[in-house]
Homo-oligomer: A and B are copies of this chain.
Amino acid sequence: MIRKVRSHPTQNEDVIFERSSPGKIGYQLPPLDVPEVDPAAALGNEHVRASIDGFPEVSEVEVIRHFTRLSTWNYAIDLGLYPLGSCTMKYNPRINEAVARLEGLAWAHPYQPENLSQGAMEVCARLEEALCEITGLDAITLQPAAGAHGELTGILLVRAFLESQGNARRKVLVPDSAHGTNPATAATAGYAIHNIASNEHGMIDLAQLAAVVDEDVAALMVTNPNTLGVFEANIVKIAEILHAKGALVYMDGANMNALAGMARPGDFGVDVMHLNLHKTFSTPHGGGGPGGGPVAVRKHLEPFLPTPRLARSAGAFTWDYDRPQSIGRMRAYYGNFGVLVRALAYILAHGGPGLRNATVDAVLNANYLRHKLAPHFDLPYDGPNMHEVVFSDERQSAKGVRTGDIAKRLIDYGFHPYTVSFPLIVHGALMIEPTETESKQELDLFIDAMISIAKEIEQDPQMVLQSPHTTRTSRVDEVTAARKPILRWR
């Protein structure tokens, strides 16, 4: 029985181009206070375009309605639990949005003189300090725009460091449970990928690892806790094995929400890692971005960090461009500054003890879900879990219902689905991460829904296979979308 939602009318809305009619306007500019200039004369006829074919012409009220209506077609954290495994969809505090819009921050130009930028630079400095303390590492760059960008930065750091040692090496080891960005990144950095299989506990197998680590290995990219939500219990030994051969340990920090305040990668052998500010540190996902992917390193990698580096001189902040060993720039300017502001606001709100409490609640929520759902769904790895838990659809698939179908049915129950079919090492994975900002009431409703769906699958699998049944848009034909791509309106 569905307790979380009821049906209600939501407004239809055309693609904006279909609302457009010639002459409608949604803007007004101030009167020009200088002489007009004829574009053709100033730029040359051949450079001046005709009017933009098909561009919309609508009024302000239509724009407000267009987006307000579209917004009602979305699910969001503000509406309820968003248990996407590996995505850490937690509450995005509103104060963070407010401070990021303060004129002095939002309108600061990256090239304005440093003596007029000290406030913005202090944001960077305080965030760097806090993140170094949280990761237990020595230095950090805030440049990377997201996790994958941080990964690339990190692997380039590894490469530059090893090069400085005389040999960049050829291989990067990636566990089969890793996120797709890990191998993609290593490849982009010019490394060959060597996949390593997880053991029956979903962890890296020490013996197997020892067997493959040699002087040709540049680094291991490990996610800890890994994508099964399992902490790599042997992480210290793992690091020793790599270090013994002069290889480095890169940690994908996407799952730091399980560790903040409890354990620090710098304390368990990690040389370099990225953080996802848009996960652990609550900056909003915004339908896919923006993010922030700071990369923290041990001292020996510091000289290679991207330019510029934030520095202090004569009591003032300054950007240091004189970094001979640096890998260079990873992007223009200094990073996704607006995201950094939000992340700092989040850290200040929680403080040290608060971050730890948040971690406890995140792990508590995930374990609570595991205990309540374990009787109904297959647990391929039934060891203790941290911030997320991964089930498989083994039992349900016996009835022909796959994880993707269970996900769609969850929508009818008023929830956003968990992460479907990842990690790849679990056949038919249901990857569930509640985060700490979910109440017991919300989790209990989710548990009821999952159990109810399990029962439905016993009784009427067909109904589940055709779900969702209550959404304004029923199941979408993704196959045709890929076969005959229509990527723009005409």
On A, residues with C-beta under 8 Å from B are: 3-12, 19, 59-62, 64-65, 68-69, 72-73, 76, 78-80, 91, 93-94, 411-412, 414, 437, 439, 441, 470-472
* B91 in contact with A60 (CB, 8 Å): yes
B79 touches A414 (CB 8 A): no
* In the bound complex, CA of A267 to CA of B94 (Å): 51
| A8 surroundings in chain B (CB, below 8 A) | 7-10, 72-73, 470-472
Determine whether the beta carbon of B9 is less than 8 Å from that of A60: no
Question: 15 A-B Cβ contacts within 8 A?
Answer: A5-B9, A5-B10, A6-B9, A6-B10, A7-B470, A7-B472, A8-B9, A8-B72, A9-B470, A12-B414, A61-B437, A62-B439, A68-B78, A69-B79, A72-B79
Decide: B7 and A12 in contact? CB cutoff 8 A: no
Closest to A14 in B: B441
Top 6 A-B pairs, shortest CB-CB distance:
A5-B9, A61-B91, A6-B472, A8-B472, A8-B10, A7-B7
With A61-B91, A80-B65, A91-B61 in contact, is A414–B11 under 8 Å at CB? Answer: yes
A10 to chain B: closest residue by CB? B8
CB distance from A6 to the nearest CB of B (A): 4
Q: How many copies does the complex hold?
A: 2
| Interchain CA distance A242-B472 in the complex, whole Å | 59
Bound Cα distance A90, B5 (Å):
31
Instruction: Collect the chain B residues with CB atoms within 8 Å of residue A5's CB.
Output: 9-12
From A3, which residue of chain B is reached at the shortest CB distance? B12
A434 CB, nearest partner CB in chain B, Å: 12
Q: Which residues of B contact A76 (CB under 8 A)?
A: 68
Q: Which residues of B contact A441 (CB under 8 A)?
A: 19
Do the beta carbons of B4 and A7 come within 8 Å of each other? Answer: no
Which of B3, B7, B11, B411 is within 8 Å of A79, CB to CB? B11
Chain B contacts of A78 at CB under 8 A?
Answer: 64-65, 68
Contacts of A94 in B (CB 8 A): 64
Docked Cα-Cα span, A387 to B299, in Å, equals: 74
| Shortest CB distance A430–B (Å) | 21
Q: In the complex, what distance in Å separates the CA atom of A310 from the CA atom of B74?
A: 49
User: CA separation between A11 and B19, bound complex, in Å?
Assistant: 30
B-chain residues with CB within 8 Å of residue A9 when the two chains form the complex? 5-8, 411-412, 414, 470-471
Once the chains are docked, how many angstroms separate the CA of A94 from the CA of B12? 23
Q: How far is the CA of A94 from the CA of B60 in the complex (A)?
A: 10
Partner of A72, one of B3, B4, B65, B72: B72
Contacts of A79 in B (CB 8 A): 11, 65, 68-69, 72
A105 nearest CB across to chain B (Å): 16
**Closest chain B CB from A58 CB (angstroms):** 9
Contact check, A10 vs B7: say whether CB atoms are below 8 A apart.
yes
A60, A411, A470 — most chain B CB neighbours (10 Å): A60
Contact partners of A412 in chain B: CB under 8 A = 9
With the chains together, A223 CA to B7 CA distance in Å?
A: 41
A91: B residues at CB distance < 8 A = 60-61, 64
Further 20 A-B residue pairs, CB within 8 A, beyond A7-B470, A11-B414, A65-B78: A5-B10, A5-B12, A7-B7, A7-B8, A7-B472, A8-B8, A8-B10, A8-B72, A8-B73, A8-B472, A9-B471, A19-B439, A19-B441, A61-B91, A61-B437, A62-B439, A65-B79, A68-B79, A69-B79, A72-B79
CA of A59 to CA of B441, assembled, Å: 13
- Contact at B59–A93, with CB atoms within 8 Å? no
Please give, as numbers and ranges, the residues of chain B lying within 8 Å of A69 by CB-CB distance.
79-80
